[in-house]
Each structure stands twice: as structure tokens, then as C-alpha cells.
Amino acid sequence: MDLLQQAMEKERLKGIRRMNLIRVVGAGVFFVFFVTIDLVLRQKNWAHTTLPVAVYFAFSLLSIFIPTSRMPHLRDYSLSAVDIPLFSFIQYKIMLASDDPVAVAAWSASVFCILVAFSAYGLKRLPIVATVLSAALFQTSLYLLANKGLESIVPSLIVISITGFFSVLMIVRIKAMVENMSKEQGKHQFFSRFFSPQVVTELMREQAKLEIKKQYCSIMFTDIRNFTALAEQTSSHELFAILNEYNDVLVDAIFKYEGTLDKFLGDGILAYFGAPQKHPMHEANAVLCALEIQMRIDELNQTRKASGKLSLDVGVGIHSGEAALGLIGTHDRREYTIIGDTVNLACRIESLTKQLGTQILVSETTASKIGPAISMRNLGTYQVKGRNQGVAVFFPNLADETVASPLKKTSPSL
């Protein structure tokens, strides 16, 4: 049983418990009324109705104490198998004492309609159908006992049937609505794991499907420098706290610039911009995100230093190009991810940041698409693993700010 079915079953049992309470109240009112007539007002012609009403009241009390998870058939079909027959018998006894048995029979149809509507509390169609059939049978019997023909029986049966039809229709619509809402909520939660709120809204509005496709976008890798040494100097509890704090900072910045979180890589993150929804400025968004990440890490480090904790040094590498996006994994568990040579090169560029002593490196492909608001400093061409030709890398800086050179005084040669 999946989560939706479990939730529906839980709600159904709640509905049955509510119905049991309503049954107790209704039967209690009947019981008090007839006991008053019989014992207080001494109406002897009504005395024979007190016992069946007492039996019905006892059954209603018993239904409260029977666990709703037990005896499923009695739970689902109690209205058709117990309530309607007992109520019909009570009505028959009332007809014997009444001067107008036809009116009693006609009033019974109203009560049967209410019971049919109550059967919808069980959120199942078959119990509603059983309640309609039971109500129709006993309503017909009461009219025949009152010596009435089809002219009285048919209208009542039509009203009972219409009540049952709309009760079933309501159940079908409720289930369909809940299933649709559950699917949409699950889809929204799935999207929210990877995409920014703006992208999620767009995907939900367009009813987008995460199909396999190639798309031009910007890839960003991040990594905490000297993480192994940091892990050796901190407890496991503190290490997880550091990573969670670090991830909060990075994911907030990624989503701010409409990026997509692909996955957490232990002490790093893989993210991309301009996919699955295209964005005309994904290169600039990726670079602005990297600059904001460094700004937030600096703020975080100030707080950590004030508390006597070690600072974090984060490297960011960015490259733009065509990459493949799609769901990867097993049949039971899949992740939406991005793969390709562009992703690999972005990872290699990030690895250069530590060797060059800079926090951010951007490929020439990405740098060539950046406007004048961000100045790009050419740091030269370097050889990276898996590439025959060298890769030109750039250091970004907001044009209206003055910063020190990103390179160490003694940069290692590659």
C-alpha cells in the first residue's frame, strides 16, 4: 500500500468514527424520546417501540468501541446491514401505533436518504450501493405495509437513488482530486530538490517532463579546499554541521541566480544554469553566483573566526557548453542529472583553483559571453587532465570593485 492509499485509508477510518458518533447521537435522541413517551407519559400504545430503539442505541454504543481496523465488512456495510433494517423495524412499530402510517413511511425515505449520504463517509463505492439497495428494499416494504402502491413508492426510490448517485459521484471526484493533488505535490517536491523556486514554478506551469535532451548551459563545480585536514581536526558531529552550513550558503546563492542543484558531492556541489529551462544570461548568472558564494563564505568565515573555528576556503570552476540532461539510476530510484564533456571540463577547471591559488576560475567559452559589468582577467592557458590542448582560464571581478590579484605570488606551473 503506497502513501496515498495509506492516507486515504486513514481518512476513511476517521470518517467512519465520525459516522459512529453521529449514529450514537441520533440513536440516543430516539431512545430518550421513546423512553419519555413510554415511562414518563405512559403512552402504552408506544411501549412496543422502546425495546427495538434500545437495541439500536446499544448497537450504536457498541460501534464506538469496536476498533475501526477490525471487522472490515461490519465497518463498511453496517448502514446497509444493521442501521437500515433496525430503523425500518422501529418505523414499522411506530406505524402500528400511528394514525397515519403513510406519513411515517414517507418520513422514512428522508432518513434513508440521510443514511445513504452518511455512507459516503467510508469513501468506498460498494458500501454506498449496498446502502441504496437496502434503503430501497425497506422503503418499498414500509409503503406496502402502509397499503400504498407504486405511485408512492417510485418517487421515494428515485430520491434515494439520486442521493446514492451523487454520493458515489462525490467519492469518485474526491479520490480523483486527491490523486491529482498528490501527483502534483510529488512532482513539485521532486522538482524542488534540484531547481530554484522560479524554475519549479515555470516547470509546473508548463507541465514539463524531464526528458533526455542536450542543451547549452553553464556548469559550476565547488569544492572545500583541504577538506581532509579539516575532517581530521573536527568531530563527526561538527563536520556535518560545517557541511550543512556550507551547503545552505551555496544552495541559497544557486537558487537566487536561477541555477539548478544537480547533486551534493560530499565537500562539493555540482550545479548548472540555463537548463532545463533556457535562460539568455546563464553564463552571467553562473559567474554572479560564484562571486556571491565567495562573498557569503567570507561572511561565514568572519563568524567562524569570532567563535574560534577554522575558516573555509572554497574553489569554484565554471564552464559553458552543450551537455546532456536526463534521469539516471535504477527503475526504483532515479536522479535528474547532467553529464558530458562540458561537465568534465568544469570539474577540471575547478581543480585548477587550488593550484593557481584563486577562488574562482572561468573558462574562455563562458568569459566570452560575459558583459562589461563583470571584468574578466585572463590568467593564461593551462593543461588539464584528459585534454590535449591547454585551457584558457579567467578570473571574474565586478567592474566597479577593486580587489587584489587572485594569483599567489608563487603559483605552481602546470
Residue 361 lies in a domain: yes
pLDDT of residue 333 exceeding 80, the answer is no
Q: Exposed, middle or buried, 373 (CB in 10 Å: 0-12/13-18/19+)?
A: exposed
Residue 201 lies in a domain: no
Tens of pLDDT along 41-61? 666 666 677 788 888 888 888
Assign 140 a pLDDT band (cuts: 50, 70, 90).
very high
Tens of pLDDT along 341-364? 999 999 999 999 999 999 999 999
Examine the domain organization and report whether 359 and 263 are in the same domain: yes
Examine the domain organization and report whether 41 and 172 are in the same domain: yes
CA-to-CA separations, 58 to 24, 53, 64, 82, 241, in angstroms, rounded:
9, 9, 10, 12, 59
Beta bridge partners of 374: 398
Read off φ and ψ for residue 205, nearest 5 degrees.
Answer: -65, -40
Examine the domain organization and report whether 157 and 9 are in the same domain: yes
Tens of pLDDT along 151-168? 889 999 999 999 999 999
Examine the domain organization and report whether 157 and 219 are in the same domain: no
Report the domain count for the chain.
2
Residue 410 lies in a domain: no
Examine the domain organization and report whether 330 and 385 are in the same domain: yes
Examine the domain organization and report whether 173 and 249 are in the same domain: no
Residue 122 lies in a domain: yes
Residue 194 lies in a domain: no
39: its cell numbers: 415511562
As a whole number of angstroms, the distance between CA 374 and CA 290 comes to 12
Instruction: Give me the sign of the Cα torsion angle 71, 74, 77, 83.
Output: negative
Residue 235 lies in a domain: yes
Provide the domain limits for residue 253: 210-398
pLDDT of residue 410 exceeding 50, the answer is no
As a whole number of angstroms, the distance between CA 134 and CA 130 comes to 6
| Whole-structure pTM value | 0.61
Torsion angle of C-alpha atoms 357, 359, 364, 370, degrees rounded to 10 = -150
Mean pLDDT value of segment 131-152: 91
Instruction: Give me the sign of the Cα torsion angle 240, 244, 246, 251.
Output: positive
Examine the domain organization and report whether 283 and 394 are in the same domain: yes
CB-based contact 59:96 (threshold 8 Å): no
CB-based contact 262:215 (threshold 8 Å): no
